[in-house]
Structure 1
């Protein structure tokens, strides 16, 4: 098995150890792959407003902390931070696997997260974003969310050049991020080896077989390029 390390970047409202990360960790242990779940700095700090570029910074810092190439697995909003980091430090990345990537969205996506939120945001309110862990306090406001929406890599780059294998997995029942966004993302990505898997699932993908098959496919592509 290729001696790359694997870095997992969770989504907004999730925790580093969740349904998908546990299955990734189990796969990694079976294949003797060094795995890390990124602990975003200031995540859950009620004194700070969430901004995707804070996550981007944390990912780039993690990439530069090791000379070895890193395979990144992202989930939901974490995928947008991953793609921004990939543009910043492409030489450090050995492969990408994106689950339900939160890309290509408009501010209306917040209505699907918190009904009635857009009007409140437009009136200058700061809101609490839902979290699986009540101890994690996530604050969002319009300015920082518009950074997430307007400067998504899929909007700022006509072509996203990634010199590594890429896999995307998206559920066709996803009610938060339309799977069509991943179809468009795949068309924008310029990679020597890329694939999109559309599955019969929603936004939160935790099926073991799906996760393991995506990891197997990505790792096979990485090893074939060596």
Structure 2
């Protein structure tokens, strides 16, 4: 169990995905030989279905309930839409979060995002009130409503009034340069606003919203983990990523 490990990692998948997505399996392989790490692929109560409207803040509550089952701090690793709750938790529950690894975070969006599902999807949503979000490989579908999307946008950390986002733990964000679902510039603006002194933003060349964690990304992730390990020492050392 995680309570016996020094570093607890919770991986949170994005909308339309699942605990068996490529990022989940690649991260598990990366960490399986690291004896001081407990890695968990997190299963939400509603990972997605066409019978129940999705709500990002239900995902946030699920994650908070999981990390509150121990007295330990956690490293949150998240893809796409799951970065929304991860960022909010890192801001509002600082005592529980020792680091963030964000992959193509779904932040800084507006309702036009719906048209990335398929052309005309936003117009359909406005007329019908609901739209089906298709699953990716090994993923869960999702039912989206106008209200759930408005809540997603209204609670997006990038829409807070403060210019500086009060997240102080080490943060690594990676984003594909050719991403047409969430523009890479959104992550660049996000990282500029995050207060942490230990942060790195890596633009992955020649990939879109769906990418593998290659050697470059894993090297940067290894450096993030080293920073977090240093921060857990009594001396509270902190070096730049």
Identify the TM-score tier after normalising by the shorter chain: over 0.9
- Mapped pair 1:28 → 2:31: yes
* Higher alpha-carbon deviation: 79-88 or 11-20: 79-88
Q: Secondary structure at the match of 1:34?
A: strand
Say which is worse superposed, 157-166 or 105-114, in terms of deviation: 157-166
For residues 215 and 97 of structure 1, what CA distance do their matches in structure 2 show?
8
2:219 aligns to what?
Answer: 213
Please give the alpha-carbon distance, in whole angstroms, between the structure 2 residues aligned to 1:214 and 1:183: 17
Q: How does 1:46-65 map to 2 (within 5 A)?
A: 46-65=50-69
Residue in structure 2 matched with residue 132 of structure 1 by the alignment: 136
Q: How many residues align?
A: 225
Q: In structure 2, what is the Cα distance between the partners aligned to 1:55 and 1:29?
A: 26
Question: Relative to structure 2, which stretch is displaced further, 111-120 or 90-99?
Answer: 111-120
User: TM-score with structure 1 length normalisation?
Assistant: 0.93
Query: Relative to structure 2, which stretch is displaced further, 104-113 or 135-144?
Result: 135-144
In structure 2, the partner of 1:191 is 196
Q: Which residue number corresponds to residue 224 of structure 1?
A: 230
Measured in 2, the distance between the counterparts of 1:133 and 1:203 equals 14
Gaps of 5+ in 2: 234-241
Counting only pairs closer than 5 Å after superposition, residues 60-79 of structure 1 correspond to structure 2 as 60-79=64-83
The aligned counterpart of 2:236 is none
RMSD: 1.7
Which protein, 1 or 2, shows the higher relative CO under an 8 Å CA cutoff with sep ≥ 6? 1
- Whether 1:95 aligns to 2:92 is no
Deviation for aligned residue 1:211: 3.8
Q: 2:138, 2:102 → 1: CA distance?
A: 26
Match of 2:169 in 1: 164
Structure 1 pair 71/135, CA: closer, same or farther in 2 (3 Å)?
closer
CA gap of 1:213–1:62, structure 2 versus 1, over 3 A, is same
- Are residues 1:5 and 2:8 paired? yes
Which has the higher mean CA deviation after the structures are superposed, 180-189 or 141-150?
141-150
Distance, in Å, in 2 between the alignment partners of 1:14 and 1:159 is 31
- Cα drift, residue 134 of structure 1: 7.9
In structure 1, the gaps of 5 or more residues are none
Change in 2 beyond 3 A, CA 1:137/1:13: closer
Distance between the aligned counterparts of 2:14 and 2:64, measured in 1? 17
| 1:136 Cα deviation from its structure 2 partner | 3.0
